[in-house]
Structure 1
């Protein structure tokens, strides 16, 4: 063999062996797959809902002013004056600035419709709505009466909720695990087995006693000279947590 051919083969050898070496390394690399279920025993999956109750301590209510005017400027001006009185009444009631938020400002033309004729603008309607959070639910009814007396003619609410639900959610979580454990014990006893341990716990969702669909108060039912006072009953709200628990039975 000539020196030239020998050098050529020597140069090609590493390149030819590289795929074989890589394949050998790939085949020899260990592969570990964690088992989805324990190697021994019977697996039982249980879903449970934990529950506790709380009295809502937060009420969110929308109070608005709807004004009519022959022109857009007239409708907005009247609306602004009346809303200023409503906002002042909210602050006099001790509601903090952080609990007062403008929710809606609208200006819409009003039309008269007829047969085979274009619509005709007859005036304008201005709407301004505040979202107010009441941290003293018991006082919210009397505050609403004061707002109506100052010009509010649109009330939407209340949305009752729990301000700080963390402790209640933890109670519901503990209750959910207890319920899941009791159900697992029932199944194990019926099958002639016993619960060895919990393999996994998954929280599937929680309801922290958030707002329900609001109660509607119609403007026609709100009169500043009414003898009866508005009252809001908070009742109770359920706080729930749903879990899935995997048990190992022996």
Structure 2
């Protein structure tokens, strides 16, 4: 029952409005206690963002070799991979920061209108290389391409933060503040005061947006990079009581 309806009912019956419920007139008989109305609440969504300069780069590179036989293709791919790994180590990259992401061996066919002819095999291996000194990103890219030669493939570079926890915490604080500000506004518009927080749910945590630079940016020796900023976004849903 709304407050207006309750007031009207109380006036018609001669009762009093106590806590939003009409009390019976003097002399009225009742056998059960009056029900307590549910507290009014407001539900709002909050959005928070936090940005920071990246402190590391992740290079995605690969080597590929195509030869008439599978054995020769694997041997050529292995030689190119060894050269790539030696080059990144020489650039000061620790072994723990280099990881094989994929390994493949595929048959290569020449297709015509009427048939397909096996012409050889292509062997490949892809790597991710963490570059913790971002100032050396260009030098590492150059070292990889020079060491592996025509077998080298640069797929791209991603700039990121090594520990995103602080960035995520900042986004959460911003999302919480945004939700509370909205709730306070709705309370004022309703002529109420904002009460206690009833519930809080994180509905969009970890929308992590590192900056990607495609491999095409490194064509023709173009290894200059612009790290920009890394962004974290968080969304929450909060429910507050209205007093």
Q: Which runs of 4+ in 1 moved over 3 A?
A: 38-41
Distance 2:131 2:37 in 1: 56
Q: Per-residue CA shift, 1:46-80, capped at 9, x if unaligned?
A: 11011111112232222111112122222221221
Q: State TM-score, norm by structure 2.
A: 0.77
Distance 1:156 1:216 in 2: 6
Report how far residue 240 of structure 1 moved. Answer: 1.7
Q: Which runs of 5+ in 1 are unaligned?
A: 1-37
Q: State TM-score, norm by structure 1.
A: 0.75
Q: Which runs of 5+ in 2 are unaligned?
A: 1-35
**Cα 1:126–1:218 shift into 2, 3 Å:** farther
SS at match of 2:203: strand
Report how far residue 187 of structure 1 moved. Answer: 0.8
Distance 1:231 1:220 in 2: 8
Matching residue within 136, 142, 145 for 2:139: 142
Distance 1:76 1:139 in 2: 30
Question: Are the counterparts in 2 of residues 162 and 209 from structure 1 also a CA contact under 8 Å?
Answer: no
Q: Per-residue CA shift, 1:194-229, capped at 9, x if unaligned?
A: 1122112111221263546x433249924xxx4xx5
Distance 1:218 1:235 in 2: 18
Report how far residue 87 of structure 1 moved. Answer: 0.6
Question: Are the counterparts in 2 of residues 53 and 238 from structure 1 also a CA contact under 8 Å?
Answer: yes
SS at match of 2:119: strand
SS at match of 2:223: coil
**RMSD over equivalenced CA pairs, Å:** 2.2
Distance 2:217 2:242 in 1: 62
Distance 2:185 2:48 in 1: 18
Report how far residue 40 of structure 1 moved. Answer: 4.6
Q: Does 1:198 align with 2:191?
A: no
